[in-house]
Every structure is written in C-alpha cells, then in structure tokens.
Amino acid sequence: MGFRRHGPFRPGDQVQLTDPKNKRHTVTLREGGAFHTHKGSIPHDELIGMPEGSVVRSSGGTPYLAFRHLLQDYAVSMPRGAAVIYPKDAAMIVGMADIFPGARVVEAGVGSGALSCFLLRAVGEGGSLTSYERREDFAEVARKNVEKFHGGPVDQWRLVVGDFVTALDESDVDRVVLDMLAPWECVDAAAKSLTPGGVICCYVATTTQLSRTVESIRDHGSFTEPHSWETLIRDWHVEGLAVRPDHRMVGHTGFVVTARRMAEGVTAPPRRRRPAKGAYGDEATAR
C-alpha cells in the first residue's frame, strides 16, 4: 500500500484546486472529465500529467493552484457520517500517545475515518490498526473515506463492526485510542489488551465526560496518573510590518486524556498532592 502518491497527476488522483480568494475545490481526476464553476471549466485531461504545484486556468481565465490533498485538508472536507476529529487534535493524539512506525494500535469509535487516516500514516507499513465501530453506517462511511484517501484497500487496517468491549480479540497491543461518548466503559477492556508500558488515549468533548474518564482510569488501578489537556490554534496575519493575531481561532473541539499501562499486579504509588477541599463533594470529604 502506498501512503502517498508522487509524480505527475494521474486518473483517480484527488486534486485540490485553490482560486485567488483561497477557495478550495476537490476534484477526482478522470479521463474526459471536467471541473465546472461559475468562473469557467477546467478539463481533467489538462491536469493529468501535470506536476503538483502547477497553475491551471479555467475557460474564464481564473488561475487555480493544483496540489494533491494534504491529509489535514482531506480530513476536514471528507464526507461525514459522524463528526470528524480535527487535524489539531489528531496530531496531538499521534504525538502525545506516541503512535510510532510499527505500532499495533486499536481504536474504538471510527466516526468518519479521519483519525484512522492519521493513525495509519503513523504506524506505517510495518504496523497495524484495528478499528471498532458499533454503527454499520458509520463504519461504511469511514471505510470509503480511508480507502479513497489511500487509493484502495489498506492491508494494515482491519475494520470491525461491533462493540469494543465484547468484540475485542487482541492482546499485547501498543496503543488503544478511544473516541466515543462513554470511554470509561471501555477502560477495563483496554487494560486487558494493552502491553505493559502501552498507552490508553481517550478523546472526549465535554467536561463531564472528561471528569468521568479521568476518574475511571484513576480508579482502575492499572494505569499511571492520567494526563488531560486541550489544544487551541490561532492563526497570525503577516503582511509586511502588519503582524497581528487573527480575530478568529480554532478553540475548544475536545479533550485528550492519556495514561500508561503498568505491569500486571503493580499498583501506582499514591498521589502526593491531595485533592482540593470539596473536589469530590461533601460526602467524600467527610469520609
């Protein structure tokens, strides 16, 4: 499986055309096809054989930059069955969960397949990804999106329609990534499948989900102290001496929680920093 195509554009390639106003259009090239806008048309045959980074003009004279998709562009424009994980969070999951080439990774909650694409690229041809999705319709959307980006079926990817807790049939995996409404229900199954030193990584949207996920990992006893955070991105306007932050930014999209699997039978040392008074309610404080 090729993770990225190089060389001139070929039939079947997805090409991103960007106009002077930075509006982007995605075109799947086919012989004899044409791209139409109110600014004129561009024959696909004119693009086929051209190198990436070329400029092509519509029949109306508008210039378009032509590149293959970056994964970050594809992830936010792919057809959706469920909400996608945005590139900023996918990048943090890959980095902070230490998804490495050759890793055996399991994910639960495939959604539209955006994170699966990032994970497959990270594990490389020597690794593997098994994805569990409860809903067959979401799984089918994800399959189409992943295979469309990679140009066909992916040898390193196994997509299972079923519940993670009951369908999981792997052990000694390196990483477990949970993207679902109630990841705390899957902590025990994740612990059983992870190799010592492996990482559990959970992606949740709300503070109540975050709290329950962290407490479930903490209470399980097989993991190190969970670490949780979110990422915020702000672009900057740079034009000569006019350098300032943009007025808008990509703020909260979700929280990421990670923890390490300890050796079997080992209990983490107790936390030295005591929780703030009232953190667990009056009843817990009284005990």
The domain locations on the chain are 14-69, 73-286
> 179 a known binding residue?
yes
C-beta separation of 261 from 223 below 8 A: yes
Q: What is the predicted pLDDT for the residue at 4?
A: 54
Confidence of residue 177 (pLDDT cuts 50, 70, 90): very high
Q: What is the pLDDT of residue 276?
A: 72
User: What are φ and ψ of residue 44, in 5° steps?
Assistant: -60, -35
Q: What share of the chain in percent tops pLDDT 90?
A: 72
**% of the chain beyond a pLDDT of 70:** 95
Q: pLDDT averaged over the chain?
A: 91
pLDDT band at 284 (very low <50, low <70, confident <90, very high): low
Is the pLDDT score of 181 beyond 70? yes
| Residue 113 marked as a ligand binder | yes
Topology of domain 73-286 in CATH is: Rossmann fold (3.40.50)
Q: Is 106 left (phi over 0), alpha (psi -120 to 50) or beta?
A: beta
Lowest mean pLDDT among 35-39, 74-78, 243-247: 74-78
Is 50 exceeded by the pLDDT of residue 2?
no
Residue 133 assigned to a binding site: yes
Is 41 annotated in a binding site? The answer is no
Residue 239 pLDDT grade (very low, low, confident, very high; cuts 50, 70, 90): very high
Residue 268 has a pLDDT of 78
pTM for the complete prediction?
Answer: 0.85
213 CB-near residues (< 8 Å, 6+ apart): 183, 184, 202, 204, 226, 257
Q: Is 112 annotated as a binding residue?
A: yes
Q: How many CA atoms lie within 13 A of 105 on its CB side?
A: 33
Average pLDDT (176-198) is 96
Q: Who wins on pLDDT, 14 or 279?
A: 14
pLDDT at residue 58, rounded to an integer: 94
The C-alpha atoms of residue 232 and residue 254 are separated, in whole angstroms, by 10
* pLDDT at site 1: 46
* 31-47: pLDDT as tens digits: 999 999 888 999 999 99
Give 89-118 pLDDT, tens digit per residue.
Answer: 999 999 999 999 999 999 999 989 999 999
- Mean of the pLDDT values across residues 75-94? 87
Band (pLDDT 50/70/90 cuts) for residue 135 is: very high
CA distances from 59 to 10, 14, 229, 246 (A): 21, 21, 49, 35
Top-tier CATH class for 14-69: alpha beta
Q: Is the pLDDT of residue 5 over 70?
A: no
pLDDT at 6 over 90: no
pLDDT band at 151 (very low <50, low <70, confident <90, very high): confident
Where residue 282 falls among pLDDT bands split at 50, 70, 90? Answer: low
